[in-house]
Amino acid sequence: MKFQTHPRMTHSPLAHPQFAQPTPPMAGGTPAAQAYPPGDTPGQTRPRARPNAHNFAFPSLTGDAPIRMEAFKGRPVLVVNTASACGYTSQYAELQTLWTLLRGRGLMVLGVPSNDFGGREPGGAEEIARFCADTYGVDFPLAGKQTVIGPAAHPFFHWAVSSVGEAGWPRWNFQKYLVTPDGRLAEIWPSPVRPLADVVLERIQALLNKAGL
């Protein structure tokens, strides 16, 4: 299991474009709503087994039922912290393409909007949903806007840090977390590694193959 701090840019065998961009400096976060693992409530402390990704849930951007990671057991999941006004926002297009190409085999893509880095996601839920749909045709699931760094971060990101150390924190918008079908953290890719980069496609396809999907 490798967690990249520098991207490996190669030409995709599917001929998808890749555009490396410099990683912007980390910015401070702002509070946002967070979800808790099933059965947990704010302020609750009780002994329990170390969680995996399937213990967590996110509120839906559209206000529908919560997005529960346990619903994706048996499938790889790519979780990405997103923003609508960032130099990496165009990666929404590749995330949608990735979703279209591989959802039939079982891949799940989950976008987690956040305003934590440079205030690049200032809008509300309706504005975010409209922007993603109208600009990039996004139809993969989007969580409600979340805090993704610091003490108030959504528990998923605290879990990533508990799994791999400080490398688990997002460094900027569009960091990518690949979760295995059994809920373990397989890879973390930083913002400049595009969703259709060889390294991403190959790792996802390997998980799909291993799971018999």
Give catalytic residues, as residue numbers.
86
Q: Residue 156's closest CA among 140, 129, 128, 175?
A: 175
Count CB neighbours of 155 within 10 A: 18
CA 24 and chain centroid, separation: 18
What sign does the dihedral 96-70-113-65 (CA atoms) show?
Answer: positive
CA–CA separation, 140 vs 177, rounded Å?
16
The sheet with strand 176-179 has its strands ordered as: 108-113, 77-82, 176-179, 185-189
β-bridge mates for residue 21, sequence order: none
Q: What are phi and psi of 82, to 5 degrees?
A: -120, 170
| Cβ-based neighbour number of residue 24 at 10 Å | 17
Q: Where are the alpha helices (DSSP H) in 118-173?
A: 125-136, 155-164
CB 138 within 8 A of CB 61: no
Q: Are 92 and 132 in contact (CB under 8 A)?
A: yes
